[in-house]
Chains A and B, each alone.
Chain A
């Protein structure tokens, strides 16, 4: 009965979406796969995979730095998210805005500001030299930039809000009565956290990990600005092969590298879902 008087034809509603997504999402991804397994003459080849072996150092470095950045983000984000979830509603709303606000400034400009802060004649080193001067001592300055640490710092800085907000969302969903129940049953503070709060915030942690790891592993600007351009990450290689910034344009190798990223992310997502089977049923902590 209801079906007959339903004016909404789902086929009509879905038609523009289906057409658009096929043309501009599925076909392009099929093209990436096609290019990854063919050469410039459009013949099937596996030789692009040989390049993956050549670039294994770069791939490993990208994975390593993004894993480190993700772990640091997680450790930094959890206490903040926890503090936010325990605050009054007004404070919570303002804190959310406060954490998202920096993302409204262009990330290139912000990353250059880190250069200003960290470089050899930058704000931190100048301040330290000033302090050393007061004590009448010479100070050479710390080398804070153009190394792996600076790249990780750039990643953590740019993507930290993506870790805080999902964990916070997951924590706010925990009903306070559960915590009270645990207390009534004799759990101490540590037990309440370890057995109730932490397990229930796992969906938030997981979406946080994905939201930090994916942009980290595919970044191509942060490594250039803060890493001094000497350490290439996968993203830098892809950019070079597609835009020919270092003189060589090769879509096939670029596509193969992109395929590698996609496969790595698929594996990571799969592992995550396996790790937390409840993530789907409990709705997750996805903030967007």
Chain B
């Protein structure tokens, strides 16, 4: 049994990592083909850093991800605190609405917001979808994940500590900031990281809500795959993957003893 599991794990790992390996390997191709390796070169990396469109859309992606993560963390954390105080039907109604963007397929969330934006913008001459619509869309699909990551922390919190602070004469607002917020901080942080990641990675919702002129990185990648495939994409993906890998290793090495929280 143990042997079977080991072999099986190796096979699944090969399955999961084969495409990654292919992408990394061909990013060093001196030819232009996605499938025939001609020789080693760094040309695609050099071209990557001269591609203004890619660099610009990477910048836009990061801006959208940071702003939407911050806004959705504020709205989502407040909402979680509020929802935690609700009971019964009202609470489950709020949770159900919160779950809609999580459960709905991305494409449905995307086109539903697109209908709204097109509908509203058609009443204003000359206004098009772009930064603002994209930001709204990202905040919308991020909020539920922040709520879902803060709520369990609120549930697991010991109400007595807060009451103790009040009994010891701490003013309520200060007690909230000094006692409640620190206790739910891990949830807030992981919610914010999740929001940032989802936003950075999102293709489907951005695809329908970004308009013709404003492109985030996944959109640029998609438009580049439609033309003859360009190995710059492999170079870009390899670099981004390396960054993530390095970050994960750093975090993992830094606090090995701490229990996982995600």
Q: Which residues of A contact B (CB under 8 A)?
A: 2, 5-8, 10-14, 16-17, 20-21, 24-29, 31-32, 35, 76, 79-80, 82-83, 90, 93-94, 96-99, 101-117, 119, 121-123, 157, 160-161, 210, 214-215, 217-218, 220-221, 225, 235, 238-239, 242-243, 251, 254-255, 258, 261-262, 265, 269, 287-288
Contact = CB atoms under 8 A, between A and B. Distances in A.
A273 to B, nearest CB: 12
Contacts of A2: 163
A218 B105 contact: yes
Contact of B172 (A6, A90, A94): A6
A94 B36 CA distance: 34
B229 to A, nearest CB: 6
A32 B113 CA distance: 9
A108 B175 CA distance: 48
Contact of B119 (A31, A119, A121): A31
A122 B136 CA distance: 41
Contacts, number: 217
Most chain B C-beta atoms within 10 Å of own C-beta, residue among A82, A113, A114, A221: A113
A194 to B, nearest CB: 15
Contact of A80 (B9, B143, B245): B9
A225 B125 CA distance: 37
6 contacts: A28-B112, A106-B237, A110-B23, A113-B19, A122-B35, A160-B15
Nearest to B100: A25
A40 to B, nearest CB: 13
Contacts of A8: 81-82, 85, 176
Contacts of B233: 106, 109, 112
B101 to A, nearest CB: 6
B83 A14 contact: yes
A276 B108 CA distance: 26
A121 B172 CA distance: 70
A108 B83 contact: no
A261 B105 contact: yes
Given A108-B203, A215-B105, A113 B78 contact: no
A102 B241 CA distance: 8
B140 A25 contact: yes
B53 interface: no
Given A5-B166, A8-B176, A105-B20, A112 B244 contact: no
A120 to B, nearest CB: 10
Nearest to A13: B82
Contacts of A7: 172-173, 175-176
Nearest to A264: B105
Contacts of A98: 13
Given A16-B78, A104-B241, A116-B35, A28 B16 contact: no
B225 interface: yes
A25 B141 CA distance: 9
Contacts of A214: 103, 105
